[in-house]
Amino acid sequence: MKSLKALLAKPFAKRIQKKVSKWANNPVQTQEKVFQKLLKEAAYTEFGKDHDFGNIQSHADFVKRVPIRDYEALRSYVDRVVAGEKDILWKGKPVYFAKTSGTTSGAKYIPITKESMPTHVEAARNAILLYIAETGKTDFVDGKMIFLQGSPVLNEKNGVKLGRLSGIVAHYVPGYLQKNRMPSWETNCIEDWETKVEAIVDETLHEKMAIISGIPSWVQMYFERIEARTGKKIGDVFPDFNLFIFGGVNFEPYRNKFENLIGRKVDSIELYPASEGFFAFQDQQNDKGMLLQLNSGIFYEFIKADEFFDENPTRITIKDVQLGVNYVMIISTNAGLWAYNIGDTVEFTSVKPYKVIVSGRIKHFISAFGEHVIGKEVEQALNDALQQSGASINEFTVAPQINPTDDLPYHEWFIEFEKAPKNIETFAETIDASLQQQNSYYLDLIDGKILKRLQVTQIQKDGFQNYMKSIGKLGGQNKIPRLSNDRKIAEMLTNYKKA
């Protein structure tokens, strides 16, 4: 017999679906309303006064007055907020700083305000509710749910609480889910990732797990520990497990491995959260595109990725985006980020309603020779090779080999296989052919004998985990970059080459 919670879930889900449809079907007006509200609310902040918000009437005015900035360029304002000043980027003070590890700037402190915090929670909730509205499935609400996340222990900086985004969000799990939620608070607070995973296995092994959520690479580690402990597939250990929620990286390279670990297919929901905002979630099972959150206090601008490094790239709003174009996403938010480049590139898969996939990082690309290879292309090429060969992988990254000891330069692919292909050369050829087909610059460099065909370097089992551990970034929200323009990661990974 279904619980009251399961019975109430359906009508609630339908109600939320109607609310979401209302703004999704009026996208341009919704974004204009968000834009005007942001300007009005921040007009009297230091940033608003410095950029003449009071006289901005249109997007064109905004473009003239507010240049695109990344964290480093916005840092003079952020530092004042972190120092405890108020009314700098947004009214008052933030309620949290989400601490993230920047590549060039060390630790980054991303403000989360009283106005922005609820949007993180609502979007995550709505992703599940729209799944219920679409599928009619509610049994999982009575089962146990696990969210593999960072520690919820928060520090303080000048009166503002500070922690990882996933740890902050852990404080906002609704009361009706508290009894279902795992792991325990004590286990969640364990800092060492390997110790934490073992403790999570201990706690969850005999529970009725229904939802499992987290970054794929870390969920994979959890699954592998369970399989090692029990000798069984995850789907047999947890017969009620039918929904996997993930975000942070493209799931496709992991899909075969996960289906093998689970032993059967399960439904999945992809999310697109970040410390800077919750941008999108998958709202239909048969559609990989994620619904862009246009009503969440975020105003979006887009720049074509291949124009991004021009002196004056064109900034457009959603009404002018086109399908299948790679865009750098720029955000202005009710947390006080203005014309802010988060570093992600997206591609629209639908404009009725607006849906995106994450295609990569504007900073994570390989163009050591002018090839402009992006994350989406390497992931597609790898997927083609995995499908043709029947191989499966645990992790991978790609770097240029600019100064080989002999012959021409090439791209070096570091891959940790779960199941290696029968012929590694054929596997490399398949990846290379797919890359040439997708990227004309790469094709020209191969044809012009500037580059030779890519090479695959096999990494030993757990090599990527050991590498991440060696740099103090095992677990939590840490992810290995798919692409590098230098050999820093490559040099360290050579210590984990398969003999």
Mean pLDDT, residues 411-431: 94
| Cα 209 versus chain centre, distance | 24
Which range is least confidently modeled, 6-20, 141-155, 169-183, 299-313? 169-183
Of 157-166, 200-209, 416-425, 428-437, the poorest mean pLDDT is in: 157-166
- Type of residue at 167: G
How high is the pLDDT of residue 50?
97
In the CATH hierarchy, which top-level class contains the domain 365-496?
Answer: alpha beta
Supply the pLDDT for residue 341: 93
Model confidence pLDDT, tens digit, residues 22-42: 999 999 999 999 999 999 999
Q: Indicate if the pLDDT at residue 307 is higher than 90.
A: no
Pick the CATH number of 1-363 from 3.40.50.12370, 3.40.50.980, 3.90.1150.10, 3.40.50.10860: 3.40.50.980
Strand partners, 108: 100
- Cite the residue boundaries of each domain of the chain with CATH code 3.40.50.980: 1-363
Residue 1: the pLDDT is: 61
pLDDT of residue 105: 46
- At residue 236, the pLDDT reads 95
340 touches 47 (CB < 8 A)? no
Of 294-298, 408-412, 438-442, the one with minimum mean pLDDT is 438-442
The mean per-residue pLDDT over the stretch 394-402 comes to 90
| Digit-coded pLDDT (tens) for 250-265 | 677 677 788 889 999 9
* Predicted pLDDT of residue 488: 86
**Beta-carbon neighbour count of residue 103 at 10 Å?**
11
What is the side-by-side strand order in the sheet with 410-419? Answer: 392-401, 410-419, 455-458
Find the mean pLDDT for residues 139-153.
84
Phi, psi of 243 (to 5 degrees): -145, 120
- Please state the rounded mean pLDDT for residues 409-414: 92
* In the chain, ranges of CATH 3.30.300 domains: 365-496
* pLDDT tens digits, one per residue of 179-189: 788 888 888 88
pLDDT (mean) for 458-479: 82
Say which range, 35-39, 142-146, 371-375, has the weakest mean pLDDT.
371-375
Query: Out of 43-47, 49-53, 105-109, 293-297, which region has the weakest mean confidence (pLDDT)?
Result: 105-109
- More confident position, 205 or 103: 205
Higher pLDDT pick, 370 / 405 = 405
CA 278/CA 328 separation, integer angstroms = 16
Q: Stretch 194-214: mean pLDDT, rounded?
A: 91
Residue 157, beta-bridge partner list: 160
pLDDT at residue 104 above 50?
no
Contact 423, 431 (CB under 8 A): no
Q: What is the predicted pLDDT for the residue at 457?
A: 93
Calculate ∠ Cα 415-417-420, nearest 5°: 115
Token digits of residue 229:
């402990």
Greatest mean pLDDT range, 101-115, 290-304, 398-412 = 290-304
pLDDT, residue 220, reads 82
pLDDT value of residue 103: 42
Per-residue confidence band for 176, with pLDDT thresholds at 50, 70 and 90: low
Among 47, 147, 154, CA closest to 98:
154
Q: What pLDDT, on a 0 to 100 scale, did the predictor assign at position 113?
A: 95
